[in-house]
Structure 1
Amino acid sequence: MPAHRHAAHTIHGDHSHIGWDNALPPVLTVAPGTTIAFECQDASGGQLTAASTLADLAKLDFGRINPVTGPVYIDGAQPGDAVKIILEAFTPSGFGWTANIPGFGLLADQFPDPALHLWSYDKATLTPAAFSSIARVPLKPFAGTIGLALAEPGVHSVVPPRRVGGNLDIRDLAAGVTLYLPVEVAGGLFSIGDTHAAQGDGEICGTAIESPMSATVTLDLVKGANLAAPRFTTPGPVTRHLDAAGYEVTTGVGPDLMVGAREAVARMVDLLSATHGMAPVDAYMLCSVCGDLRISEIVDLPNWIVSFYFPRVVFA
């Protein structure tokens, strides 16, 4: 991969906002093709630190969750265009957290109690991070939330993903990827945050390795793109960091994809607990940061198959 471009501007993490609102004044106006370094807070907005305990999880102010840094106005961007976002580089902090938050996550009904795991990883080498004495997770930094302002006025929650991006939580939006987002308001009003050191496809417990870091991004413009929803291009393979030792895979089979997804994950939690002596909630959080939910079959009426892939390299 070629060397990334150096940032012409830096936007510090205190220039952040909660929710999307096209009335927010931009913190920076740039020409298309400008490279910017965004200092991104973690999903807790700094409420959880390396010194946090389970008691701190119970005190989370959800009104401060998922802050994003920005917005940035791109000169010439108009409705019907697309902002072309080149994800140049991520500079991680070395700290992260994963939590089971009551009422949140795919298996919230099965895991009603809070749990918190604090991560410390080598920010220079990004060697696999220790979850326990038997499990180490390969890292792949990316931004969970990348988006533009919506045309509709008012404040819109940052929690759900939207047609203009937002909380996409696509773990492949890593360095080297080019993302395209449809513009709905003049200038686009780009913001980014919710950075992760690693995540599995599905982010099943509701959190990844939530980690503050800097994201270097080039913002360009495609006139008249008329995109209906986000799309992106990767520069090469996307699972190389996990593929080395193969996978354990569990499935859910039936006519409902959500039920199938829940069953596939629950069966993997049971498998990891039985074979590695892990507490079920620890297995659940570990699955969230490195395991992948996939739709394997959706055409053979009346039953579909959802598979959950857990990388064996974690236990190597």
Structure 2
Amino acid sequence: MSFRPFTSESYAQDDRPEAWRDVLAAVGLQPATAHSFYDGHATASHRHAVGVALTRMAAGAQSVGPLPQANEDLPIALMPLEDGMVLKSAGGHRIVPVGHLVLLPRSGDWSIVFQRDMRAIVLSVTTSALHGRLSGKPRLGEPRVVPPNGFADVFARLLDATARTLDNLSDAEWNAVAQSLVDLLLTLAHQLAASTSDAGSSATQAALLHRICQTIERRLDDPDLVPARVAQAEGISERYLQKLFETVGDNFTHYVRERRLQRAWADLSNPVEAHRSISEIAYAYGFGDSAHFSRAFRHRFGLPPREFRQQEAERATLQHGVAGQRGWPQEALAQLRTHQSVEARSNVSRSDAEEPRAAGRRHHHLPVEASRIHWGYFSRSLSPQIEITSGDTITIETLTQHASDAPDMMIAGDAGAESVFGWTREKKNVDRRGAGPMDASVFGRGAGEGFGVHICTGPVAVKDAQPGDVLEVRILDIVPRASRSPNHAGRVFGSSVAAWWGYHYNEFLGGPKPREIVTIYEIFDDPEEPHARALYSYRWEPQTDPFGVVHATYDYPGVPVAPATVKRRHAVLDGIRIPLRPHFGVIAVAPREVDFVDSVPPSYFGGNLDNWRLGKGATVYLPVSVPGALLSVGDSHATQGDGELSGTAIECSMTGTFEVILHKKADLAGQAFADLSYPLIETETDWVLTGFSHPNYLAEFGAQGQSEVYAKSSLDLAMKDAFRKMRRFLMNVKGLSEDEAIALMSAAVDFGVTQVVDGNWGVHAILSKRLFQDAT
């Protein structure tokens, strides 16, 4: 097959620049300067045929320029997939909007600057693709930016559709599509080469018009943006201003109106902006009257703004399958930026149960209560609950988000649990539950929409932690949280739900189909045989929360279960004792890419790893990506099998004691966790490497990441990632050759399915330390 994927996870940090240079070279590009190598997380899907190469790439901020190729004149086609791309050429600097095509000559003094992230599609066609045909090779002296109109729109749509399905096309299908792309590119290039520069205007006029358009772009929010004011600011007459627009077949008023509507359209379909009202968006682009904006939007796009927004949400929901939609709808969900929307902000505390320890180290205690947790999301903007120093220990209390499945056992009488789960008609103590919008405008479930479900205690700031460092978290102890109810005092309970997001959900044999089943367990922390026994189960029936919202499925965390709806089935798993594997499903540092991140899909920052090996005596190493690291812990489990097939483990509130050690970037060389870009688990006997379908889905998919990861995960991708990471570990940490690493993996490394229910599916690779006890 001609399909070739690339991921930076295959390479050690020092090898990434050269590997990324090869990716760029395949489509005729190279780093623009010697200092613009990118060595962070990057992915690329690449397909080639004779003389044709198509790549969809995602990486961090960087600059690229042409890689001169002798006797090649056909231009390179590039299309950005996110905002933030600037074209630098002799004609000046130009911002290239999403969806526009850029045709780039094979040589010349130009560069493309990706200011935030590089997310683009690149098509490179050489003369070999012409198969001897006469094409009158078009020669472009300067880069040309082509809006998606007419023929260019046809080309752009095919380019985007092909790039999205590269890995699914057969070789025959790809060859047919590739030839179509060649023909379309040639036709478009001929059109541009035959046209006069900038549609008849001089280079000076083009530069002036570009500067005017930039001025307009910066002032779209000004309702008094009129030709006279812009002309005055540029030192030209209003008549000359209008003449400049006439040279490109437009006029000032139409251009401004079109740009405002296009920007509003983009915001209404952008998940980053979904928390803003339609009126806010209209005012932001100079529309002083909501009714006028609604009429103008409908006239331009065929739907009023509100219906358009709803249509986009429904379309994305249908596209991604499950009606309940555990993850973010692709274009309807907010990544809220404002700090004011984060609940339960506390000042940094250093006085909470601190006790002096040897050598100046301290022990801290972080109790669980509503003001000390964040529910269903991670955020780089959360204020830390406490700051600790490297080498300190800390006891962290956690609550399971499933305590409301049996509130009489797991909440009643427990002041901490009652604080967190408290919910009456008048007030919900922890309102936000998930990373979604606060106004529940997507599905109406409740604040946060349940896009993310885990109760996380913290975050804990680690003094002097900076991006590039590694945080070592040693789990010293795990103690189950006993019931404080007078009727059940001292006993420990847990819950497991066979839910709609489970792997089994569409595979029932008997009726009713489908169904969700809650099973309540008692946990016996017997020193000789710790185990869990099922007490009873019940079928989930529609629950009406205290705010009056009906939850037909288990779609929002912490909904109080009405006792009258619980029809207990006893003698469940009768006589079966399930061995305990106490562990924390969630141990995370804050991710850097966006502000509000769904707690369900795990990634490089840790999060919802759901690996039972993260128990007492284990250690997890996490790459730090924000100042202070911002460590959070939650999702405690009494036990879990690999796969977590039905949707949950036996969820049980627990308290953990941890030792936290900071390893500075400058001191990582020679360590097993050097060059770390993923959660690495160490036990007494093994190294456990965590692979994911998408190792950094936030970087790979950009603004749509928290939706795309649910739609595109697979065990095949997770297995490939685990293999790549283990190969890298064996080569760069253990010093094996690639052939030796592959031989050892097949003979002695155990690969297992971690989980298939967390959006970003997981496969772990277990490497026994005993293999190297005699190695030199």
Q: Does 1:47 align with 2:404?
A: yes
Does structure 2 conserve the Cα–Cα contact (< 8 Å) formed by 1:50 and 1:118? no
Residue 490 (structure 2) pairs with residue 101 (structure 1):
no
Which structure 2 segments of 5+ residues have no match? 1-357, 410-444, 482-491, 509-513, 535-572, 666-673, 688-713, 720-749, 754-762, 764-776
The residue number in structure 2 matching 1:163 is 604
Match of 1:294 among 752, 760, 770: 752
Do the aligned partners of 1:17 and 1:69 also contact (CA within 8 Å) in 2? yes
- 1:1-316 aligned within 5 A: 8-14=363-369, 15-18=372-375, 19-44=377-402, 46-49=403-406, 51=408, 63=450, 65-93=453-481, 94-102=492-500, 104-111=501-508, 112-123=514-525, 125=527, 127-131=530-534, 132-224=573-665, 225-236=674-685, 257=715, 294=752
Q: CA deviation at 1:134?
A: 2.8
The amino acid that maps onto 2:533 is: A
* Residue in 2 that maps onto 1:273: none
Change in CA separation of 1:237 and 1:74 when aligned onto 2, cut-off 3 Å:
closer
Greater strand fraction, Structure 1 or Structure 2: 1
1:81·1:226 contact (CA, 8 Å) conserved in 2?
no
Larger Rg: 2
Mapped partners of 1:134, 1:113: distance in 2: 25
Note the alpha carbon deviations across 1:179-200, whole angstroms, 9 max, x for none. 1000000110000000000001
Amino acid aligned to 2:473: I
CA RMSD of aligned residues (A): 2.8
The answer to whether the 8 Å contact 1:161/1:168 transfers is yes
Determine if contact 1:81/1:182 at 8 Å carries over to the other structure.
Answer: yes
Q: Which whole-Å CA distance do the structure 2 matches of 1:20 and 1:200 have between them?
A: 25
User: What TM-score do the two structures reach when normalised by structure 1?
Assistant: 0.68
Deviation at 1:65, TM superposition (A): 2.3
Distance 1:196 1:16 in 2: 18
Higher helix share: 2
Report the counterpart of residue 537 of structure 2 in structure 1: none
**Amino acid of the residue matched to residue 365 of structure 2?**
T
Shift of 1:219: 1.0
CA distance in 2, matches of 1:139, 1:229: 27
Using the TM superposition, give the Cα deviation of residue 67 of structure 1 relative to its aligned residue in structure 2, in angstroms: 1.1
Secondary structure in 2 matching 1:162: coil
The Cα shift of 1:99 comes to 0.9
Alpha-carbon shift at residue 47 of structure 1 (Å): 2.1
The amino acid across from 2:499 in the alignment is I
Deviations 1:62-106 (A, max 9, x none): 63821110001101111100100001110013210111112x111
Give distance in 2, aligned partners of 1:226 and 1:105: 34
Cα separation, partners in 2 of 1:138 and 1:190, compared to 1, 3 Å: same
Give the TM-score normalised by structure 2. Answer: 0.29
For residues 686 and 493 of structure 2, the distance between their equivalents in structure 1, rounded to whole angstroms, comes to 26
**Structure 1 position 216, deviation (Å):** 0.7
Q: Distance in 2 between matches of 1:74 and 1:154?
A: 19
The one-letter code sitting in structure 1 at the alignment partner of 2:523 is Y
Amino acid across the alignment from 2:684? P
**Aligned to 2:611, what secondary structure does the other structure show?**
coil
Q: Distance in 1 between matches of 2:498 and 2:507?
A: 11
Distance apart, 1:226 and its partner CA: 3.8
Give identity over the alignment, percent.
33
Conserved? CA contact 2:401–2:635, under 8 Å = yes
- CA displacement 1:18-61 (0-9 Å, x = unmatched): 201111000001110111111101033x3222648xxxxxxx97
Q: What is the identity, as a one-letter code, of the residue corresponding to 1:229?
A: Y
Question: Residue type matched to 1:10 in 2?
Answer: H
Q: Name the CA distance, whole Å, in 2 between partners of 1:70 and 1:49.
A: 25
8 Å contact 1:72–1:189 — kept in the other structure?
A: yes
Name the SS of the counterpart of 1:217 in structure 2: strand
Letter matched to residue 9 of structure 1: H
Look up the equivalent residue of 1:128 and give its one-letter code. H
Tell me, in whole angstroms, the C-alpha distance in 2 between the residues paired with 1:235 and 1:66.
Answer: 28
The whole-number CA distance in structure 2 between the counterparts of 1:65 and 1:293 is 28
Deviates more, 1:188-197 or 1:61-70: 61-70
Is the 1:25–1:71 Cα contact (8 Å) retained in structure 2? yes
3-state SS of paired residue (2:657) = strand
**What's the CA shift string for 1:101-141, capped at 9, x where partnerless?**
12x11122124201011011223546222233231100010
User: Quick one: distance in 1 between partners of 2:682 and 2:715?
Assistant: 26
My pick for the range that moved more, 110-119 or 185-194, is 110-119
AA at the equivalent of 1:30: I
Shift of residue 205 of structure 1?
0.8
- Check the 8 A contact 1:144/1:167 in 2, yes or no: yes
Change (3 A) 1:20 1:257: closer
What code does the residue aligned with 1:68 have?
C
Separation of aligned partners in 2, 1:209 and 1:85 = 23
> Residue 47 of structure 1: SS of its match in structure 2?
helix
Cα 1:161–1:257, aligned 2, differ >3 Å: closer, same or farther? Answer: closer
